[in-house]
Homo-oligomer: A and B are copies of this chain.
Amino acid sequence: MARTNSNYDKLAAGYLFPEITRRTDLFLENNPDVTLMKLGIGNTTEPLTPSVIRGLHEGVDRLAHVETYTGYTVNYGDVPIRKAISGYYQKLGVTADINEIFVSDGAKPDSGNIQSIFCTDSIVAVQDPAYPVYVDTNVIAGRTGAFIPETRQYERMVYMPCHEENGFFPALPEQKVDLIYICSPNNPTGTVATRSQLEAFIRYAIANKAVIVFDAAYAAFIQDPGLPRSIYEIEDAKKCAIEINSFSKMAGFTGVRLGWTVVPMDLVTENAASGKVNRMWERRMNTFFNGPSNIVQLGGIAALSDQGQRECRQLVDYYMNNARIIRDGLTEIGLKVYGGKNAPYVWLKTPSQMTSWAFFDKLLEETHVVGTPGSGFGPSGEGFFRLSAFGHTEDISKAVRNIKENLRL
């Protein structure tokens, strides 16, 4: 008598983005002549750069000829792409051996799957608000109790509030926790953790033999040279931190699919000596995965070449100019905004203490702009709203103009 995984029943609501789609589609049904401006999902809009396109075409061409055709790659990426990623770290002054680098089809699958190599009764701490994948995958794996509607939190999950008062970076957990998810530059708040903030978490993790899952998917957007782009820039991070990163936003690979995870040899846990967690993740990749597409790997290598990185920086500059336009426009009409300086997300405080979803509906109806309700990222996101800088500049400008002209404050 097969029974399904009942943890799925605990999931509080539809995954945030499908719910946005649902409300948006409903609005369009009732207002068929309206053209919406979507600043919701952080989806790239600008074409891949010339180097990457050449790399991808080469990847396809290789498969057209018997002399260069390849089948299965290494289950966590071939040596050349791992060497290229190792080189990426070298430029940050960080040593990451190719045996510590596991290449996948993206940061989302990795940040979803990483919990599976830890035991089911692990106590998990997340920044609140946080990228929903960290929470939902741990709910599905059974590491939480029920969802409590009053607090809008799952039992057993430790929420680390990020709010205006602490500059959207949390205090250390008061209790002992096992797994800590930190996303910097942060999705959704657009805040970047400083060196000293990360140092404190690393000290905590080492003292408590906890593991930090550091999501650096937006590292390429950091403009301030004093802010760390990798947690491994901080001493001792390799003893306690797993880092996840992606080509999605850095190189426009959201649809192309390529990411990576670093599991350092030095990482230890209560029951795992040096090297073991690394081998467990290798085993997981060997068992559940068959490597990222060989075509896509060549695109990734091109993106990490010197010329590729110069081109990617132009892509990043393009989106960061959008972020500036959003920040400036909203500030002008008196809205309070955060983020958007070292991250492609602007985190705005809803006016008149509106709820996030009420502001979503208001923005949609009055200005035809689709954004993302902050409360969808956790209870401390309530009263905030995320606007994404991913989009064509003319569309972003038009959206900001529409907000300025039509939002009734």
Contacts and interface: CB of A to CB of B under 8 A. Distances in A.
Interface of A: 1-6, 8, 11, 15, 17-18, 41, 43-48, 50, 53, 56-57, 60-61, 63-66, 69-73, 105-106, 108-109, 112-113, 116-120, 122, 132-133, 136-137, 140, 142, 176, 178-179, 208-211, 252, 254-257, 269-272, 276-277, 280, 283-284, 286-296, 390, 392
Given A4-B277, A69-B45, A105-B293, A255 B120 contact: no
A14 to B, nearest CB: 8
Given A6-B119, A113-B288, 4 more contacts: A3-B178, A4-B119, A4-B269, A5-B117
A69 B53 contact: no
Contacts of A270: 1-3
A269 B3 contact: yes
B140 A256 contact: no
Copies of the polypeptide in the assembly: 2
Contacts of A176: 1
Given A11-B283, A269-B2, A142 B120 contact: yes
A140 B288 CA distance: 11
16 contacts: A1-B176, A2-B122, A2-B178, A2-B270, A5-B118, A15-B283, A15-B287, A47-B65, A53-B60, A53-B63, A63-B252, A108-B288, A137-B287, A255-B291, A257-B291, A295-B295
Nearest to A271: B3
Contact of A4 (B66, B69, B109, B118): B118
B296 A295 contact: yes
A327 to B, nearest CB: 23
A210 B4 CA distance: 11
B15 A106 contact: no
A331 to B, nearest CB: 28
Contacts of A254: 71-72, 290
Contacts of A6: 119, 271
